[in-house]
Amino acid sequence: MQNPAVNRIKNLQRPGEVHRDAYVAQDVFDLEMKHLFRNAWAYVGHASQIPNRSDYYATTVADQPILMVRHKDDTIHVMYNRCPHKGTQVVIDTKGNAGKFFRCPYHAWSFRTDGSLASVPLKRGYDNTDFEKSCAAKGMTSVAHIKNYRDFIFVKLNDAGPDFESFFGDSLSSLDNMIDRSPVGRLQVVGAPLRYLHHCNWKMLVENQTDTCHPMVAHESSAGTVKDIWEKEGGDGPRPMAVEVILPFMSSYEFFEGMGIRTWDNGHGHTGVHHSIHSDYSVAPGYEEQMQAAYGAEKAAAILGENRHNTIYFPNMMIKGPIQSLRLFKPIAADKTLVESWIFRLVDAPDILLERTAMYNRIINAPTSIVGHDDLEMYERAQSGLSSDGMQWVNVQRLYEDGEGTTPEATYNGTTEAQMRNQFRAWEKFMLMSMDGGVAP
């Protein structure tokens, strides 16, 4: 018998359109948790968050409680944050150091930092019970697939779905560029992430990252006001850092068209192929010289010449290489998304770059950010509007070209919605690949 979920998913798209149920229906959201987010590679955290042995970081991947820990041999392990005994979350704070063992606070079962069971109190109570054959005896369950890519820790929870390299392909060039901007090729997480709760579907936020037709409209109130004030005050002389950061949001349609958009297989893509709103930042004194000394003039120029704007790592992560920030759009419910915005220090680079990174994060990504206020208003109006039965389809037709998705990589006019279509092609693929009767990977 045909699995009804397969048709449910297939019927949510027709050429240039997506059905609103992809955004508002809880049954579709539940299928996303079960299939999409388990078949795709997901970012967990960064190695610099757990610099010492037994350091841990607890988080979520989709609806799963996840624990990342540095083992005694310095390898990073990722496991489900659940005691194999009764299910208690072994770790409740987001970060800390386990000492020699994790110890469940309920019955004191303890686990080594690779998750294996170290001891159980009153162990003789399990004599002659075949305990050794139980799954509990194996300890905390590790996730199926882990990849440490240059200190960025990714996992894939299901066996279905491609391996790490096939999943990301050349899109890793954006991550490489962000890391290579450190003269020693290393990043460090700085501080806590901003956490911003949106009453809308997670995909709206992801789509907005490559939506280049909204800044000059939705952000007229914030970026436009900065522009007005700056011009009223003369508008000449060196721009304060805040002006430098916000003003490009008011760039023209032509600017964004010329920026370009690149798509890669499996739903990844980025804005800012040729230039971007990050291209014209002032130079940090001494930084270029440091980079030239580290990489040679040619490679340093190539690294700093890339000004990719937003790179989407499908399904729900975005990075800004020139700003060294990473955003996770964490799905909570069909109409609820938690956005985490993280920043990184370029190890050994001048502090002024980190100052700009931190400023960008709070001015653009914070729940107190006027730019954030502009965006949240649009997402939540859309989430409410989609309840309308009058029209049930969302349009993603802009600058459609025949043959999209037939090559592993393509570049387009910067105002295309090709990346949104790319995401939805991948969305269907990763939804169906683990369904009975779905398409094989």
Partner 1 sequence: MKVTMQALVDFVYLEARLIDERRFPEWLDMFTEDAIYWMPLEWDQVEEKLTTSLLYEDKLLLRTRVERLEGARTFSQKPQSRCQHLLQMPQVDSMDSAANAYQTWTAFHYAETRFDEQQILAGWARHTLCVENDGLRIRKKRVDLVNCDAPFRNIQLFV
- Structure tokens that stand for 260 in this block: 């370009």
Closest separation in Å from C-beta 196 to partner 1: 6
- Structure tokens that stand for 327 in this block: 């955003």
Closest separation in Å from C-beta 201 to partner 1: 16
311: left (phi over 0), alpha (psi -120 to 50) or beta: beta
Closest separation in Å from C-beta 375 to partner 1: 9
CB 98 within 8 A of CB 90: no
Of the pair 41, 56, the CB lying nearest partner 1 is at: 56
Closest separation in Å from C-beta 247 to partner 1: 11
Closest separation in Å from C-beta 259 to partner 1: 23
Closest separation in Å from C-beta 403 to partner 1: 37
Closest separation in Å from C-beta 20 to partner 1: 21
- Structure tokens that stand for 390 in this block: 């009058």
Closest separation in Å from C-beta 319 to partner 1: 16
- Structure tokens that stand for 242 in this block: 């805040």
Closest separation in Å from C-beta 88 to partner 1: 23
Measured distance CA(2)–CA(249) in Å, rounded: 48
Of the pair 294, 332, the CB lying nearest partner 1 is at: 332
Closest separation in Å from C-beta 189 to partner 1: 10
First-to-final CA distance of the chain: 21
3-state secondary structure the chain: CCCHHHHHHHCCEECCEEECHHHHCHHHHHHHHHHHHHHCCEEEEEHHHCCCCCEEEEEEECCEEEEEEECCCCCEEEEECCCCCCCCCCCCCCEEECCCCEECCCCCCEECCCCCEEECCCHHHHCCCCHHHCCHHHCCCECCEEEEECCEEEEECCCCCCCHHHHHHHHHHHHHHHHHCCCCCCEEEEEEEEEEEECCCHHHHHHHCCCCCCHHHHCCCCHHHHHHHHHHCCCCCCCCHHHHHHHHHHCCHHHHHHHCEEEEHHHCEEECCCCCCCCCCCCCCCHHHHHHHHHCHHHHHHHHHCCCCCEEECCCEEEECCCCEEEEEEEEECCEEEEEEEEEEECCCCHHHHHHHHHHHHHHHCCCCHHHHHHHHHHHHHHHHCCCCCCCEEECCCCCCCCCCCCCEEEECCCCCHHHHHHHHHHHHHHHCCCCCCCCC
Of the pair 338, 347, the CB lying nearest partner 1 is at: 338
CB 59 within 8 A of CB 44: yes
Q: Which residues bind partner 1 (CB under 8 A)?
A: 190-197, 199, 218, 220-222, 224-226, 228-229, 240, 242-243, 338, 341, 343, 351, 354-355, 358-359, 361-363, 366-368, 370, 372-374, 376-378
Amino acid symbol at 47: A
Of the pair 108, 197, the CB lying nearest partner 1 is at: 197
Closest separation in Å from C-beta 233 to partner 1: 8
**Is the sign of the CA dihedral 313, 220, 366, 179 positive or negative?**
positive
Of the pair 345, 421, the CB lying nearest partner 1 is at: 345
